[in-house]
A and B are shown apart, each in its own frame.
Chain A
Amino acid sequence: AQTVTQSQPEMSVQEAETVTLSCTYDTSESDYYLFWYKQPPSRQMILVIRQEAYKQQNATENRFSVNFQKAAKSFSLKISDSQLGDAAMYFCAYRSDNYGGSQGNLIFGKGTKLSVKP
């Protein structure tokens, strides 16, 4: 069974600085998808960025980028020029590309709470 581990329960960053959130996963599959979700106090889960495992190029969305290391099964999120609105819980998630398996099952980590200091 696949697992997702976020080893940092809490992180803090100064406004305008850069922070990296860690995520590792365990799988025997070669094709899969990885995601970072943000959950602010409003509780809505918001997709931040996603990565297809077959792509070697790291995904980037504005100030958010990932460092995807497939061999190491690592998928970290880098937030550049941190803003106060980035303060939230961040969840790493894995999804199998096995269409015979669960169609909806994103496997989530326990999350990292990010604080942004002004």
Chain B
Amino acid sequence: ETGVTQTPRHLVMGMTNKKSLKCEQHLGHNAMYWYKQSAKKPLELMFVYNFKEQTENNSVPSRFSPECPNSSHLFLHLHTLQPEDSALYLCASSSELGPFGPQHFGDGTRLSIL
């Protein structure tokens, strides 16, 4: 049990589909993050939420739409994606925003865009 659970583990979708990635943390943390991990590239921060409020959007295209209904759940809604959006999407959490950044990561969702 990692403490941060992501579903689905794998997702294949067409460019016109709409899907959502889900992240749930059972650690009582207040901050949650979305990262994108592409092949041969460093992890890229996408969004940061603190106490359900978005505190950071790292210039992410609008075809990615995050939602944080409460401190335990974080979603990433996807629509009209592009082939270059194929990547591993990692969710993370931390007890608070602070110098140590995300402390716990989920296993990620492997997204493939056809």
Listed in ascending order, the chain A residues whose CB lies under 8 Å from chain B are: 4, 33, 35, 42-47, 50, 52, 91, 93, 95, 97, 102-111
Contacts of B100 in A (CB 8 A): 33, 50, 95
B108 touches A44 (CB 8 A): yes
- Partner-binding segment picked from B11-19, B21-29, B39-47, B62-70: B39-47
CA distance A107 to B96 in the complex (A): 18
Determine if B103 and A105 form an interchain contact, defined as CB atoms under 8 angstroms apart. Answer: no
User: Count the A-B residue pairs with Cβ separation under 8 angstroms: how many?
Assistant: 68
A23 to chain B, nearest CB (A): 12
Whether the pair B99, A104 counts as a contact (CB closer than 8 A) is no
Complex Cα distance, B99 from A33, in Å, reads 7
Chain A min CB distance to B67 (Å): 17
Interface centre among A42, A102, A109 (most CB of B within 10 A): A102
Q: Are A4 and B42 in contact (CB under 8 A)?
A: yes
Cβ of B42: which chain A residues have Cβ within 8 Å of it? 4, 91, 107-111
The smallest beta-carbon distance between A35 and chain B, in angstroms, is: 8
Known: A44-B108, A47-B103. A104 touches B43 (CB 8 A): no
Say whether chain B's binding surface is mostly helix, strand, loop, or mixed: loop
Instruction: Tell me the smallest distance from the CB of B18 to a CB of chain A, in Å.
Output: 24
Q: Answer yes or no: B88 CB below 8 A from chain A CBs.
A: yes
Residue of B nearest to A3 (CB): B42
Question: Chain B contacts of A111 at CB under 8 A?
Answer: 42
Q: Which of A44, A52, A102 sits near B56, CB closer than 8 Å?
A: A102
Indicate whether B2 reaches chain A with its CB closer than 8 angstroms.
Answer: yes
Contact A105 B99 (CB under 8 A): no
CB of B9 to closest CB in A, whole Å: 9
B79-114 interface mask toward A, CB cutoff 8 Å, 1 = contact, 0 = none? 000000000101010000111111101111010000
- Give CA–CA (A35, B106) in the complex, Å: 18
Contacts of B90 on A, CB cut-off 8 Å?
Answer: 43, 45
Q: Is the CB of A104 within 8 A of B101?
A: yes
